[in-house]
Amino acid sequence: MTQPDTLRGIGESATLARIFPRLPQSDHALVGPGDDSAVMSAPDSRFVVTTDMMIHGPDFRLAWSAPHDLGWKAAASNLADVAAMGATPTALVVAIAAPADSPVSLLEGIADGLRDACLALAPGCGVVGGDLSVSDTLTIAVTAFGDLSGRAPVLRSGARPGDVVAVSGALGRAAAGLALLFERGTVDGQPDASAAASLRASDPDLVAAQLAPTPPIADGVLAAQAGATAMLDLSDGLALDARRIAQASGVALSLDAAAIGSREALDGGEDHSLLATFPPGTSLPGGFRAIGTVVAGSGLLVDGQHYEERGGWDPYEQWSGGRG
Amino acid sequence: MTQPDTLRGIGESATLARIFPRLPQSDHALVGPGDDSAVMSAPDSRFVVTTDMMIHGPDFRLAWSAPHDLGWKAAASNLADVAAMGATPTALVVAIAAPADSPVSLLEGIADGLRDACLALAPGCGVVGGDLSVSDTLTIAVTAFGDLSGRAPVLRSGARPGDVVAVSGALGRAAAGLALLFERGTVDGQPDASAAASLRASDPDLVAAQLAPTPPIADGVLAAQAGATAMLDLSDGLALDARRIAQASGVALSLDAAAIGSREALDGGEDHSLLATFPPGTSLPGGFRAIGTVVAGSGLLVDGQHYEERGGWDPYEQWSGGRG
């Protein structure tokens, strides 16, 4: 049996040559990859930018995530931050550091996942630059760009009493998928690839919600066009992120438990769905559905009661140190 | 003796609150940090973007680099890639992953270094966004942006026979500093902080050239204004990077050994100086000095002889795995 090529075995230049053709091209690049920098078009003289890193251990387990999942999720989570401003994603730059003994197929799979997520979630968005490096810890750092097409960005601070609170995308599914993986995707407490494969077969939707989420990227622009007053992407769970809009806007968000569904839907992170507020009477665009209203006050109410659960996840305090 | 605060001890929010006030502000930010994305101004409807990562082990040793050095070098190396397009750096986004037991002062020092490098090398450039995470391997990923003020970007592909080859900034100094650190900055083969402190006292310039380089960022715009036909930043050494201009432009670069100085100046990487070509007769701007001419052919000539040394550094093939 031949051994698979490793990064150390073929080196940086040959690795780049194998990854490069897999990456999606950007419709908005004036100068693409290959020079010291890329040059991007910014038609309305502004651009939106966000950055987010995924780290082996706290953010993913290699026994659970396929390389394609990693590229997909790295793209999707950053695209959601662009969409949450009401912008159309235009491009990514991607820095990846991997152990030298990794198979080249790891990086090929990540590149394929980046491409497929861009094609599916934000057509026209492509990779315009990057950096490959070596590290004991597989690390994927993505920076994403977006175009506002002349509109004002939708900030967290614009919610007003009387506005409708609405969400587009899943609530609590990514957290439910993660709980399932920790419950039935381990052997002797360690993440296990065979167990995860069984779960992919038995519970494909929940597992995919965690490993390769499909946030409603196009609904970000639709929300802005419909007059959204505030918006963010749900990375730390509805409860914590709703409080962020409340605090930035100097209001309270009052949510309806029945419209939300489960407790997991309130506290579970990583859905990368869009939470937005709209002026009363707005016909909600795309996949948005009403889950409450903005009221005077502060913080978060659920069925009229203040909801104080902390939610979220602190990487420094809460990562167990496990990888697998 | 009180123990220093660690990231795990105070958590992500408190860490952010301590770093945030130290970061430089960008003169070009319309919406700064704190929302899902930043919004940047791009006055001529384009922006320049580049990304580069620094990893504990292959890229730096904590026994040698102070936190301030790490922030400085992460900024400087990315600013040089923006300058090499003939652009003015406008902003950075910075993702940092650090072990949970790191002292908070590590991140404070990195933030101070980012700020001081921006102030010294590219005033008006600031940090507009970022991401903090946890990792077994300290990792700093920077993405930098620049403004071309209506000019065409200076690519690697524009050199023409007859052009003057010129360089601004140090040649081989960063590599000489690294050689010195490996030679006299170790104890029993391991990077050692006391030995490095002695070297900082005895050879401050060489050590700084490696740990906190000062590339001539402003000369990038001056070169573009003077009509530079090609330009790049010297990250892999003069020989390898000169060949890159030669290949992209379909020409040969013929360099004068006496003008270059030493062999280390040809092969040593990480200076982040600017290598550019100018039409014959150009009055060389800023710190640029002539070191050769562009001729028909391919590859690199030194004193008329083809120079074939490979140069550069492959992270996958050449990193020893050492950290320290």
**pLDDT per residue as tens digits for the range A92-116:** 999 999 999 999 999 999 999 999 9
Indicate whether A189 belongs to any domain: yes
B170, A61 contact by CB (below 8 A): no
Is residue B203 exposed (0-12), middle (13-18) or buried (19+ Cβ within 10 Å)?
A: middle
Q: What is the DSSP letter of A163?
A: P
Other beta carbons within 10 Å of A308? 10
CB A71 within 8 A of CB A109: yes
Three-state SS across chain B?
A: CCCCCEHHHHHHHHHHHHHHHHCCCCCCEEECECECCEEEECCCCEEEEEEEEEEECCCECCCCCCHHHHHHHHHHHHHHHHHCCCCEEEEEEEEEEECCCCEHHHHHHHHHHHHHHHHHHCCCCEEEEEEEEECCCCEEEEEEEEECCCCCCCCCCCCCCCCEEEEECCCCHHHHHHHHHHHHCEECCEECHHHHHHHHHHCHHHHHHHHCCCCCCHHHHHHHHCCCCEEEECCCCHHHHHHHHHHHHCCEEEECHHHHCCHHHHHCCCCCCEEEEECCCCCCCCCCEEEEEEECCCEEEECCEECCCCCCCCHHHHCCCCCC
- pLDDT value of position B3: 84
Is A152 part of any domain?
A: no
Helix, strand, or coil here: A227?
coil
Residue A109 in 3-state DSSP? Answer: helix
Q: Contact B81/B144 with Cβ under 8 angstroms?
A: yes
Is residue B4 a part of any domain in this protein? no
pLDDT at B1: 58
pLDDT at B90 over 70: yes
Q: From the annotation, which residues of A make up the binding site for Mg(2+)?
A: 36, 50-52, 81, 131, 233, 236
Q: Is residue B102 part of a domain?
A: yes
How wide is the angle at C-alpha B213 spanned by C-alphas B155 and A93, nearest 5°? 45
Of B55, B93, B133, the CB nearest to A315: B133
Which residues of chain A lie closer than 8 angstroms to B43, CB-CB?
45
Which residues of chain B are within 8 Å of residue A272 when distances are taken between CB atoms? Answer: none
Please answer yes or no on whether B37 and A7 come within 8 Å at the CB atom.
no
Which CATH number is A295's domain given?
Answer: 3.90.650.10
| Contact between B134 and A319 (Cβ < 8 Å) | yes
Same domain, A63 and A143: yes
State the average pLDDT over residues A178-193.
Answer: 96
Residues of B in contact with A90 (CB under 8 A): none
Say what the pLDDT of residue B312 is: 81
3-class SS of residue A75: helix
Which single residue is written with the structure tokens 């946030």? A215
CB atoms within 10 A of CB B308: 10
Of the pLDDT bands very low, low, confident and very high (cuts 50, 70, 90), residue A312 is: confident
C-alpha distance from A296 to closest chain B C-alpha (Å): 22
Which three-class secondary structure state does DSSP give residue A14? helix
Q: In angstroms, what separates the C-alpha of A241 from chain B's closest C-alpha?
A: 11
- Rounded distance, CA B124 to CA A116, Å? 37
Q: What is the mean pLDDT of residues A143-171?
A: 98
Q: Same domain, yes or no, for A19 and A75?
A: yes
Judge: A45–B48 Cβ closer than 8 Å, yes or no: no
Average pLDDT over residues A59-63: 97
Residue pair A135/B316 in contact by the 8 Å Cβ criterion = no
| CB pair distance less than 8 Å for A37 and B50 | yes
Average pLDDT, chain A: 96
Residues of A in Cβ contact (< 8 Å) with B41: 45-46
Looking at the structure of chain A, the number of domains it has is 3
Which of B74, B224, B63, B244 minimizes the C-alpha distance to B151?
A: B224
Question: Does the residue B41 lie in any domain?
Answer: yes
Q: Specify the amino acid at residue B47.
A: F
**The pLDDT value given to residue A196:** 97
The predicted structure's pLDDT at residue A1 = 58
Q: Which value, to the nearest 10 degrees, does the dihedral of the CA atoms of residues B183, B188, B191, B197 take?
A: -70
Q: How far apart are CA A301 and CA A317, in angstroms?
A: 27
At residue A136, the pLDDT reads: 95
Which of B47, B231, B222 is closest to B154 using CA atoms? B231
Query: ipTM surpassing 0.85, yes or no?
Result: yes
**Is the model's pLDDT at A238 over the cut of 80?**
yes
Q: What pLDDT score does A311 carry?
A: 76
Provide the 10 A C-beta neighbour count for residue B212.
Answer: 22
Segment A67-93, tens digit of pLDDT: 999 999 999 999 999 999 999 999 999
Q: What value does the mean pLDDT take over residues B195-208?
A: 97
How far is residue B77's CA from residue B213's CA, in Å, rounded to a whole number?
Answer: 8
What CATH number is given to the structural domain containing A125? Answer: 3.30.1330.10
Kind and range of the H or E run holding A88: strand A88-98
Mean pLDDT of B293-316: 92
- The mean pLDDT of A296-310, rounded to a whole number, is 93
What is the arithmetic mean of pLDDT over B218-235?
Answer: 98
Q: Tell me if A36 and B132 make a contact (CB, 8 A cut-off).
A: no
Collapsed DSSP state (helix, strand, coil) of residue A214: coil
- Looking at the DSSP bridge assignments, the partners of residue A303 are none
* B156–A42 CB contact, under 8 Å: no
- The reply to whether B123 falls in a domain is yes
Q: Residue B290 — φ and ψ, nearest 5°?
A: -75, 135
Report the residue from A37, A84, A319 with minimal CB separation from B81.
Answer: A37
Give the Cα separation of B280 and B121 in Å (integer).
29
Looking at the predicted structure, is the pLDDT value of residue A310 above 80? no
Question: How many A×B Cβ pairs under 8 Å?
Answer: 253
Q: How far apart are CA B307 and CA A211, in angstroms?
A: 49
Q: Measured between CA atoms, how close is A245 to chain B, in angstroms?
A: 10
Residue B318 falls within a domain, yes or no? no
Q: What are phi and psi of B70, to 5 degrees?
A: -60, -45
* Residues A261 and A233 reside in one and the same domain: yes
Query: Are residues A79 and A184 both part of a single domain?
Result: no
Q: A95–B49: do the CB atoms touch at under 8 Å?
A: no
Both A134 and A31 in one domain: the answer is yes
Contact residues, chain B, for A45 at CB < 8 Å: 41-45
Number of H helices, E strands in chain A: 11, 15
pLDDT tens track for B240-284: 999 999 999 999 999 999 999 887 899 999 999 999 999 999 999
In a shared domain, residues B198 and B245: no
* Contact residues on chain A for B130, CB-CB shorter than 8 A: 51
Residue A5 belongs to a domain: no
User: What pLDDT is stored for residue A88 in this prediction?
Assistant: 98
Which among B35, B79, B274 is the top mutation candidate for probing chain A, defined by the most A β-carbons within 10 Å of its own β-carbon?
B35
Greatest C-alpha distance within chain A: 68
Displacement of CA A273 from its chain's centroid (Å):
8
pLDDT in tens, A113-127: 999 999 999 999 999
**Average pLDDT estimate for A257-283:** 94
Residue B104 distance to chain A (closest CA, Å) = 11
Does residue B22 have a pLDDT over 70? Answer: yes
Q: How does pLDDT run across A142-154, given as a tens digit for each residue?
A: 999 999 999 999 9
Residues B81 and B185 placed together within one structural domain of the fold: no
The answer to whether residue B119 scores a pLDDT higher than 90 is yes
**pLDDT tens for residues A7-35?**
999 999 999 999 999 999 999 999 999 99
Enter the DSSP assignment of A285.
-
- Please state, in angstroms and as integers, the Cα–Cα distance from residue A100 to each residue in A61, B51, B310, following that order: 18, 21, 21
Residues on chain B touching A314 (C-beta within 8 angstroms): 11-13
Burial class of residue A179 in the structure, from the number of CB atoms within 10 Å of its CB (0-12 exposed, 13-18 middle, 19+ buried):
middle
Closest to B100 (Cα-Cα) out of B55, B138, B154: B138
Domain of residue A34: give its range: 12-147
Render pLDDT for A33-57 as a digit per residue (tens, 0 to 9): 999 999 999 999 999 999 999 999 9
CB nearest to A143's CB, from B12, B97, B143: B143
For testing the chain A interface, which of B23, B37, B93, B241 should be mutated: the one with the most A CBs within 10 Å? B37
Asked if the model's pLDDT at residue B50 lies above 90, the reply is: yes
Rounded Cα–Cα distance for residues A191 and A195 (Å)? 8
List chain B residues with CB under 8 Å of A231.
36
Average the pLDDT over A173-179 and give the result.
Answer: 96
Would you give the distance in Å from CA B64 to the centre of its chain?
A: 18
Q: Are residues B238 and B252 in the same domain?
A: yes
Residue-averaged pLDDT of chain B: 96
Q: Which two tokens stand for residue A78?
A: 């950053």
Residues making up the annotated binding site of A for ATP are 130-131, 156, 235
In this prediction, residue B308 carries a pLDDT of 87
Shortest Cα distance, chain A CAs vs residue B157, angstroms: 9
d(CA B270, CA B177): 10
Say yes or no: A53 and A75 in one domain: yes
pLDDT tens by residue, B148-182: 999 999 999 999 999 999 999 999 999 999 999 99
Shared domain check, A111 and A29:
yes
Burial (CB count <10 Å: 0-12, 13-18, 19+), residue B296: exposed
Nearest CA in chain A to B157: A35
Residues B34 and B101 grouped into a single domain: yes
Same domain, A133 and A224: no
